[in-house]
Amino acid sequence: MSSASDRSSAPAWRIASAIPGRLRVRHEAIRDPGRAHRIEEEMASTHGVIAAHARPLTAGLLIRYDPSAIAERQLLRILEEWTAPTAANIGATEDLAIPPVPFTIANGTLVLSAAGELAVPALLPPTALLLVFNSRKTLREAWREARSRRLGLPTLFATILMGTLLSGQFLAAALMAWTYQFWRHQHRLARHRLRRELLPSMTQRSRFARLCVADAEVEVLAERLRPGDRIVVEEGQMVPADGWLAGGFAVVDERLVCGVAGLSRKEAGDPIHAGSFARQGRLFVEVSGQGGASRALRLGRELAAAAPPPAQFALNAHGEEIGRKAVVPTLAVAGLGLAVGDLAAAGAILRPDYATGPGLGVSLESLRDLGESAREGVVVRDPSAFRRIAEADVFLFDLVPALRREGLEVRSVEPLDGVAEDDLLRLAASAFAGLADDRAPALGAACASRRIIVRRQPRADYRGPDIAVEDGGLRLTFRDRPASPAATPNGEPPPALEVSANGRTVGRIAFGRSARPRAAEALHALRNHGPIAIGLLSDRTEAEVEPIARTLGVDFHLAGLDASGKVEAVRACRRRGLKVAYVGNGRRDPEAARAANVAISIGFDEPDPAHDPSAVLVLRPDLAWIPGLRERSREHLACLRAVNQFVLIPNLFCIAGAFFLGFTSLSSAVVTNLGTLAVYTGLPRRRNWRTRAIDRSRR
């Protein structure tokens, strides 16, 4: 293997083919399946890479990429760094990815069984040996279950294997073994695809940075950046490291990383997070951290750990649990089929797969909901939290700052120079639409109350202290001081927004703090998603808490509670048989979070999963997310029930077919996989959502 010094003269990676967006390379390291998997995951975690497929048999690696985000030479450099002897795991990914699915034995068994049953019977004995060899782990586990007098999936699989050997229906067994591997493979691909589509800032990272050295810019690997380095990020590029804006004004998309509601306007000294995208302006960033220390990668690891991990005898633990429940009924019905029919009928009854469909369905639904929640600034660390949130009877809110945060409202509109009030509001709302700015929802609400239609401005310039918009040949300017209303001293509202057209002032819009906290609207909306009670906990005095509780509209409140008092309040609700969702600061009150059925942690800028036991971490500074999380949780629970029920249909049909239609094991194998295919394509989800939509419309 070549060293880093002579790579240019003797490259270790050979280019087999290269066209824009598609690169195929070869390297002997790919022949090792373990290393092939690691490099495959390493490339997939690189921003700009669409897909990476390693082929150990041919020592090949196929990379599909976006040429506008990463260049061919950069891909080759990553590969060379990865295989360099001096590279200290420079790109080691910590993604908890499902390993590649081996098909060699499954393919061989399927080919031999088909040839043996259809053409060459002499191939059936080797097929039987291959089936037994491929099931050796299952047989060992079935023996352990027999010794401990338990019945589980290994016992069922061992029974199916024995029935296959006795009946000689090797093709059905080989087909089921192959489809089992196939669905594992499809599950892996779907998991990668969903995470890339929903969570690009957390599942991929920018691997290169433009480092400022004297008066020049040098391209370096992002992993080699150090605190204090100054880098340049061009418009449209992903920020490679955490840091601060070193100068000027810029607009950054950090919605996924920080959970804000729109684009963020930045000025010198403001924090910049890795995984953000520069949308307007050239960013000069002073690096504060790199590699695995970035906020985006920490959150990405939390989400990767939350995805349902693979299990030994099913796609995941949910599939194993559902399959285990079906073991005893399946064996009993198969015994009945053997008594009233024959071995073929018993085999057809044993063949349906009760584990793969539910396992696949719960995994895909969990990934979708984890991703959609993360896009709204809510990091769900455990998919079971959706069920616990949906089933919660009581939401106990600790009095965190988000509950008291006041919103803005439009107090007055002063048109000048003959401009109508409605036009002034429409233009201002259009200019602020899509920005993470408290004035955006205030202007939107004012337009909604007047039934003014707001359209997004396609050519708005958000850089600088002002906002400039081109509208019908006019250049509109919105004086924007200060840049962040939340930073206004003493909680005062921002000064009036001054609107100018081609240099002349045409109006002013004044804002004021709303009398009702923004959280009150969120709590009111939360009640619309199922009957619940809402309580408020605080260590403040009764005189301080009572007016806040009245303004928020909670059902009850408890004041003067220390940490142990909050824990006791949670436990008191649970002793009454209530399921409790605790919403507070899990780092400050970890015992209260542990005492609840589910804990949601809010009120912090930097997530600290190591010291926070909460199942849900919220990045947003408000409570606007909570009604949507409750509704998504209810939809998640209903959809999982629909998946479990949907899978029963083809499997029960197989049992009926074995008794009345002469089904064979091969028939059952085909029908049960059609049911799994329906789950994979999302049919239960679509049917369930359509039914719920009809129910909502009727209500």
419 CB neighbour count, 10 Å cutoff: 17
pLDDT of 27: 93
Mean pLDDT on 449-453: 92
Token readout for 292 is 């695995």
pLDDT in tens, 421-441: 998 999 899 889 888 888 888
Domains with residue ranges and CATH for the chain: 14-83 (3.30.70.100), 99-204+310-376+632-699 (no CATH), 206-293 (2.70.150.10), 377-399+538-624 (3.40.50.1000), 404-519 (3.40.1110.10)
Judge whether residue 693 has pLDDT over 60.
no
pLDDT of 81: 84
Token readout for 495 is 């000064």
Q: What are phi and psi of 387, to 5 degrees?
A: -65, -45
User: Mapping DSSP to helix (H, G, I), strand (E, B) and coil, where does residue 535 land?
Assistant: strand
Ranges 2-6, 101-105, 368-372, 582-586, most confident: 582-586
| Residue partners of 505: CB distance under 8 A and separation at least 6 | 416, 417, 498, 499
Closest CA to 153 of 171, 135, 172: 135
pLDDT of 300: 79
Distance CA 130, CA 676 (A): 26
Cβ–Cβ under 8 Å, residues 465 and 475? no
pLDDT in tens, 252-276: 998 888 888 889 999 899 999 998 9
Q: Please provide the average confidence, as pLDDT, over all residues in the chain.
A: 85
Mean pLDDT on 530-544: 93
For residue 483, the 8-state DSSP code is: S
pLDDT band, residue 495 (cuts 50/70/90): confident
pLDDT of 371: 86
pLDDT of 438: 85
Is pLDDT larger for residue 82 or for residue 476? Answer: 476
Bridge partners (DSSP) of residue 453 are: none
Token readout for 698 is 């009727």
pLDDT of 686: 64
Is pLDDT larger for residue 88 or for residue 428? Answer: 428
For the chain, what percent of residues have pLDDT higher than 70?
Answer: 90
Judge whether residue 97 has pLDDT over 90.
no
Judge whether residue 600 has pLDDT over 90.
yes
pLDDT of 694: 39
Distance CA 295, CA 68 (A): 25
Euclidean distance between the first and the last CA atom of the chain, given in angstroms as a whole number: 69
Token readout for 582 is 């605790």
Mean pLDDT on 37-41: 84
Residue carrying the six token digits 């504060």:
288
Distance CA 429, CA 453 (A): 10
pLDDT of 551: 92
SS3 content of the chain, % helix, strand, coil (to 5): 50, 20, 30
Hey, which bits of 183-302 come out as E strands?
Answer: 208-213, 216-221, 230-233, 243-245, 249-253, 264-267, 271-272, 277-280, 283-287
Q: What are phi and psi of 251, to 5 degrees?
A: -120, 130
Judge whether residue 180 has pLDDT over 70.
yes
Cβ–Cβ under 8 Å, residues 476 and 464? no
pLDDT in tens, 123-147: 989 999 989 988 899 999 999 999 9
pLDDT of 291: 53
Distance CA 364, CA 642 (A): 13
pLDDT band, residue 580 (cuts 50/70/90): very high
Judge whether residue 38 has pLDDT over 90.
no
Q: What is the CA radius of gyration of the chain?
A: 30
Global confidence as pTM: 0.82
Bridge partners (DSSP) of residue 252 are: 264, 278
468 CB neighbour count, 10 Å cutoff: 17
User: Mapping DSSP to helix (H, G, I), strand (E, B) and coil, where does residue 224 land?
Assistant: helix
Distance CA 191, CA 201 (A): 16
Distance CA 588, CA 561 (A): 14
Mean pLDDT on 471-481: 77
Is pLDDT larger for residue 79 or for residue 495? Answer: 79
For residue 682, the 8-state DSSP code is: T
Hey, which bits of 108-229 come out as E strands?
Answer: 208-213, 216-221
Q: What are phi and psi of 577, to 5 degrees?
A: 85, 15
pLDDT in tens, 632-674: 999 999 888 888 888 889 999 999 999 999 899 999 999 999 9
Count of residues in the chain: 699
Closest CA to 631 of 699, 687, 552, 692: 692
Q: What is the dihedral of CA 672, 678, 681, 686, to 10 degrees?
A: -150
Judge whether residue 350 has pLDDT over 50.
yes
